Chain A
Amino acid sequence: MYFLEIKKQHKDFLGSIRHWQNLKTAFEGDAIWVKDFLAEQINSPEIQQIPYKKVYELKENLLFEQGNLLPSKKLPSGLLWTPILRALPVSLPKFNHNFFGIDEKLEIRIKASEEIKEAHALLVDYDELKRYIETAPKYRLEPLQWVVLDKSALILGNPLLPIKGNTYWLEHDFLLPTGYNFEWFALAKKLQEELNLSKQNIILWNIDNSYSVIPKTTIKQLSISSFRLTFS
């Protein structure tokens, strides 16, 4: 069982191991104690990088400094252990009152993404859809909805139909081409609030960064009769 001791004035160096949630810390006078290291953690570079620290091993209630054969001291009694995340809270840097870049604007772009997600929508040509849907089994159409865009049809739902077309991901009511995400994807929620506050639309993004707004009320249940009545 290993213990780490460091002076209070050097506590910032513990930042590099703060994310190990198994650790517990305790304060004693001028010192900070850390315990509950895993075997692989105690010899890791993160620990070795910390200056001014002392690493002890506890044997028979005595603390042996790492590598030493003689004990250095006893573990102080009555320590109050708390999880390291709670014991060392993070404080944000002070607000910068001299920052004047607030007029800057971000251009919203989409770019290739490494994520793996299931497609939620399929944009298909009318002819392709006609060839499949006229003989489609009912159970394949039941979970799907659709809306007509010019000469193609956008099909939403899962599982999608086995036909050729462009697929899209759904996130915050945005349909993004599969394989793409917003360049500033953390702002997706904010962007949805700007473009589509009441969530009554679905917004379809094209690879050239343009988008089309599709009101949700125009999206209908997909069925053979719905298809035939639309295109007859």
Chain B
Amino acid sequence: MEKDQYKGWLYLLPAALFLAAFLVYPLVDVFVYSMEEGYNFASQKSYGTGLYNFSYVLHDPYFLQAVKNTFVMVVITVPLSTGIALLISVGLCSIEPLRKLFQTVYFLPYVTNTLAVGLVFMVLFKKTAYSDGLINMLINFFGGESVDFIDGPHAAKMFVMCLYIIWVVMPFKILLLTSAISSVDPNYYNAARVDGTPPFRIFYKITLPMISPTLFYLIITGFIGAFKEYSNAVALFGTDLNSAGMNTIVGYVYDMLYGDSGGYPSYASAAAIILFTIVLTITYLNLTVSKKHTYY
């Protein structure tokens, strides 16, 4: 059995080939693309190398709009979704009856096609000629003015956008947080209760430190995910995100690559690299902070 050691490589071969072709080579290539100035997709030629692509992208108002949108989404959705998920998970872990049912319901958005359900949100929030939509009815009921959330003011669109993102990312966070909270050794709670520690203090001094690794994991992946936001925006506002003013950085990359405004893989590559420089920086900052505050 020792003589045919090299048979092992045979088992890895399919995976290695696919990974080389669709993961390693493209990773190198994206940097090459980003440096090729004026690369033409049709003739496959470029006239020089340099940083022009980056400078073009950074001066493109659409890109700046996309960066602004993405940052707003990140700043709003990550803390809100994590916070609400934490509240819900704590609530969920404190009850016995109906717990399974709630857990099942809360998980539903994870298994839905977000492009499809986005349309439901659109229908709920959209103001059309013959109906202001359900949400506006509610706003009117409480004495507010109808707003067009889908084609109206930017802030309104951003509101629906963030609401939908939170709706979509909650299942994952609730699932991880509930399993983290319920795996805390109950003896810690028993000990604290014997000492007469009030519930809030128990949460703050025991639960929170014990689940801090999961919490930071969720915050880090939450940031990364939110920076890569794209298909949820398409779900609500359609494929022409630039004219809706709701484009994201990833959306900008794809628009540069393909579609009516596409055909510029060099700009797309430059934008993608800028995006991941941002993501890496934020992740690095997150990790530094989490090292300081994670208890083990």
**A and B physically associate:** no
